[in-house]
């Protein structure tokens, strides 16, 4: 089941995602300082929805990574900082004069959990470069496919609270995972829906109206 939902996840996820029903949160939040609150919200939501052996993996830019980690660690237990090596052009952090060359996939689990990935996992992954065909902040599929495959199994449920143009939905579908994605921008949501071939699942217009999304 692939379920794409138009709306603000903060307002509607509690009505849609049952407690302790999710195997993996795999998501790419915005990186700017003004959005650091997102990581604290993700941590709170992860505690609510993750199964005891579930994981949260959130992309993070380098500049505010320490602050993102503080917010995630307010509720969750640090597991690993997976490094995605950039291919080709890369970001320059001009205020610090640093050519980054990478971004992090911050991985956390429920406090006290002994959960481990399905298989051994590379701590460093050589990406193929960002995929901006569908969205200006789009991520490439190869990295997502690798980590979603390592941290979940066929039939598991994967959630993306910042769906964007649907890269993680498309990958999850190809890996036979159940997937729920939230997107707050209508135009971007429509791109994602078209991209995964209209795989909206049972979340139909009537239910959207009932929840006040439309």
Q: pLDDT tens across 4-57, in order?
A: 999 999 999 999 999 999 999 999 999 889 999 999 999 999 999 999 999 999
Burial class, 19, CB count within 10 angstroms (exposed 0-12 / middle 13-18 / buried 19+): exposed
Report the pLDDT averaged over residues 92-113: 91
202, pLDDT greater than 50:
no
Burial class, 213, CB count within 10 angstroms (exposed 0-12 / middle 13-18 / buried 19+): middle
pLDDT of 71 reads 98
- Alpha-carbon distances of 191 from 27, 67, 108, 165, 195, rounded to whole Å: 17, 31, 30, 6, 6
Residues above pLDDT 70, as percent of the chain: 85
139, pLDDT greater than 50:
yes
Angle (CA) 192-196-200 rounded to 5° is 85
Burial class, 140, CB count within 10 angstroms (exposed 0-12 / middle 13-18 / buried 19+): middle
pLDDT of 136 reads 47
In this prediction, residue 66 has a pLDDT band, given cuts at 50, 70 and 90, of very high
pLDDT of 203 reads 38
Report the pLDDT averaged over residues 103-126: 96
121, pLDDT greater than 50:
yes
pLDDT of 209 reads 39
Token couple for 38: 């997102």
| DSSP conformation class of 42 | H
Token couple for 52: 């005891």
Report the pLDDT averaged over residues 96-117: 94
Q: Which 3 state secondary structure label does DSSP give 44?
A: helix
In this prediction, residue 144 has a pLDDT band, given cuts at 50, 70 and 90, of very high
Q: Whose CA is closest to 23, among 134, 180, 167, 203?
A: 180
Do the Cβ atoms of 82 and 51 come closer than 8 Å? Answer: no
Q: How far apart are CA 11 and CA 63, in angstroms?
A: 28
210, pLDDT greater than 70:
no
Q: Fold for domain 2-210?
A: Rossmann fold (3.40.50)
In this prediction, residue 100 has a pLDDT band, given cuts at 50, 70 and 90, of confident
pTM of the model: 0.86
């Amino acid at each position: 089941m692939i379920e794409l939902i138009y709306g603000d996840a903060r307002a509607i996820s509690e009505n849609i995602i049952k407690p302790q029903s999710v195997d993996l949160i795999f998501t790419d939040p915005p990186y700017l300082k003004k959005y650091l609150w997102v990581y604290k919200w993700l941590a709170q939501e992860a505690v609510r929805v993750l199964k005891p052996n579930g994981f949260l993996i959130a992309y993070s830019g380098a500049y505010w990574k320490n602050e993102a980690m503080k917010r995630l660690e307010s509720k969750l237990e640090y597991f690993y900082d997976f490094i995605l090596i950039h291919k080709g052009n890369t970001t320059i952090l001009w205020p610090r004069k640093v050519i980054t060359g990478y971004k992090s996939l911050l991985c956390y689990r429920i406090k006290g959990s002994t959960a481990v990935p399905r298989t051994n996992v590379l701590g460093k992954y050589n990406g193929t470069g960002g995929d901006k065909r569908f969205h200006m902040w789009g991520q490439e599929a190869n990295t997502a496919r690798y980590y979603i495959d390592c941290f979940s199994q066929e039939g598991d449920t994967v959630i993306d609270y910042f769906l964007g143009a649907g890269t993680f939905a498309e990958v999850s579908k190809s890996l036979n995972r159940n997937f729920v994605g939230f997107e707050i921008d209508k135009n971007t949501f429509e791109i994602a829906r078209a991209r995964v071939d209209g795989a909206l699942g049972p979340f139909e217009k009537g239910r959207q109206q009932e929840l006040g999304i439309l």
